[in-house]
Amino acid sequence: MNFLAKLSNQNLLNDVNLERTIIMSNMRIVGILVLTLVLISCKKKNIKENETIVPFDFLSGQTYKSLTIDLVFVEGFEPNSTAIANLEVFLEQRLNKPEGISIIQRGITSPEEETYSVQEIEAIEKDKRKNYTKKEELAAFIFYADADYVESGEDSKVLGIKYGPSSVALFKSSIDQFSGGIGQVSEVKLETTVLKHEFGHLMGLVNIGTDLVNTHEDSDHSGHCDNPDCLMYYATENSSFAELLLGEDIPDLDEQCIQDLQANGGK
Ligand SMILES: [Zn+2]
Ligand SMILES: [Zn+2]
């Protein structure tokens, strides 16, 4: 029974009863406020839980049976659909996720940044990310930026970064600049390479959460493989690599990197 119904049902309403009804109604409002606060704090808790995600959670099916990837792109900088399909194939190859891997895409209007720092991307993630890891469902986040990474130079640009345990960003405008033109590598090839490379980092490659079986970490570029033909070679996330990709296949993981993944719960 709501407040108005209560009033009309009581013809001989005295002041005491009215006062009691108002107090009850106020209590209900307080109740709704408390519930809202609890819901907000749950959301925050999810972000915290997400920070404890480790590469093993991606690789193994022990804790998490499925993977949902939230992909947020700035309108006008949509992902290449073949590159996304290629990423899905790559993830199916390496991750034990018996209940499936899905990528959900959503466009946002441009935040109109001249460049992006990690802090700025984190703020966008906090605002726009909808899926967080829960129960047996692992979640990850990809942001497609419409401007360069803050550390990119004029000629040498960072094409992608892994900035959190389940978060990566692609600098789509930089990828566009170095692909698809005459004498340039195709967009599909470059975008697929960068996507796969950043997810390789989420899987703990090289030696960043997934231990080495044999020594193959590049001593000059930590977190990367020393094999120039491997997907996890340091240069693959930089624009200088785009030229080298011309006429080559999309790089894949070498034996050393695959061995590391398999020793940490991967396929
Ligand atoms: Zn890298
Ligand atoms: Zn490798």
Closest-lying ligand to the alpha carbon of 218? 2
**Cα gap 118→145, rounded to integer Å:** 12
Rounded Cα distance, 103 and 72, in Å: 10
| Cβ density class 168-182: b for 16+ within 10 Å, e for less | bbbbbbbbbbbbbee
**Structure confidence at residue 9 (pLDDT):** 43
Q: What letter represents residue 34's amino acid?
A: V
Measure 234 CA to ligand 1 centroid, in angstroms: 5
The residue with tokens 């090289």 is 206
Residue 103, token pair as written in the block: 């990528």
- pLDDT band per the 50, 70, 90 thresholds, residue 241: confident
Query: pLDDT value at position 39?
Result: 39
User: Is 5's pLDDT higher than 50?
Assistant: no
Q: Is the pLDDT of residue 187 over 70?
A: yes
230 alpha carbon – ligand 2 mean position (Å): 5
| pTM of the shown model | 0.82
- How does pLDDT run across 33-75, given as a tens digit for each residue? 444 333 333 333 444 445 589 999 999 999 999 999 999 999 9
Q: Contact at 8 Å (CB) between 187 and 175?
A: yes
User: Looking at the CA of 158, which ligand is closest?
Assistant: 1
Do residues 78 and 142 lie in contact, with contact meaning Cβ atoms separated by under 8 Å?
no
Looking at residues 154-167, what average pLDDT do you find? 94
